[in-house]
Amino acid sequence: GAVVSQHPSWVICKSGTSVKIECRSLDFQATTMFWYRQFPKQSLMLMATSNEGSKATYEQGVEKDKFLINHASLTLSTLTVTSAHPEDSSFYICSASTGKGGYTFGSGTRLTVV
Amino acid sequence: GEDVEQSLFLSVREGDSSVINCTYTDSSSTYLYWYKQEPGAGLQLLTYIFSNMDMKQDQRLTVLLNKKDKHLSLRIADTQTGDSAIYFCAETPGSSSASKIIFGSGTRLSIRP
């Protein structure tokens, strides 16, 4: 149980376009979801905490107008990278709290902006 | 502040035990975790320990927690080539189970024959 499905697994987009990444909890309700990004050979960095029905809480240094997060239902959170640029190329991972101290992670999305 | 530190690399011989260490700063952490990441993949939760426990064992994995020193370790017995990966230590600062999770930088475990 407690599976999070994230897609797409990888995406290549042109500079200036927007990309949406979806994160779905398949068999549980995820009140809170988290979005991370990972640069090559570095650790995960928390970008924002997403709560169902309210605005996301962004970590310091993360542009909320560039990384739009929507958590409209208990099973879906989306991250939209707007006007993507090559420096946004990264590995993005979502996770959800299972409510019992554990977290489950999506498989990640590798974004390449060309 | 909230910080989790771990060494970046560890190399062990196949069949030996691997011990990956981690230190954290938040004394109010409730849960501490070990995750495994294989290349290009998402994180896989290996095990977690509650802050009121000293040790947890799960097959080849043993987690030791020294709360006084804020030190967490992961021991992998009989290390195999399939154990090659990056291992992340993580904590949830504070007492809420839905609070954010803070990761260490990851320890890259390599296995030599």
Other C-beta atoms closer than 10 Å to the C-beta of A107 total 16
Tell me which amino acid residue B31 is.
Y
Can you tell me the distance from the alpha carbon of A66 to that of A98, in angstroms, rounded to the nearest whole number? 28
Residues of chain A in contact with residue B31, where contact means CB-CB under 8 angstroms, are: 101-102
Higher-confidence residue of B104 and A5: namely A5
Sign of CA dihedral B85, B71, B47, A59: negative
Distance between A32 CA and the closest CA of chain B, angstroms = 7
Reported confidence tier of residue B21, pLDDT bands at 50, 70, 90? very high
- Could you list the mean pLDDT of each consecutive 10-residue stretch along chain A, which spans 114 residues? 86 97 91 86 82 88 94 92 95 81 78 95
Strands B107-112, B85-92: pairing kind: antiparallel
Chain-chain contact of B45 with A108 (C-beta, under 8 angstroms): no
Torsion of CA B29, A56, A63, A106, to 10 degrees: 70
Residue of A nearest to B104 (CA): A43
- Reading the block at residue B18, the tokens are 């691997």
Q: What is the mean pLDDT of chain B?
A: 87
A107/B50 CB distance under 8 A: no
Q: What is the pLDDT of residue A100?
A: 61
- Check CB contact of B102 with chain A, cutoff 8 Å: yes
Tell me the CA distances in angstroms from A53 to A2, A74, A77, B60, one per residue in order.
21, 9, 10, 42
Measure A97 CA to nearest chain B CA, in Å.
6
CB neighbour list of residue A61: distance below 8 Å, 6 or more residues apart = none
Q: What is the pLDDT of residues B57-87, one digit of tens each?
A: 999 999 999 999 999 999 999 999 999 998 9
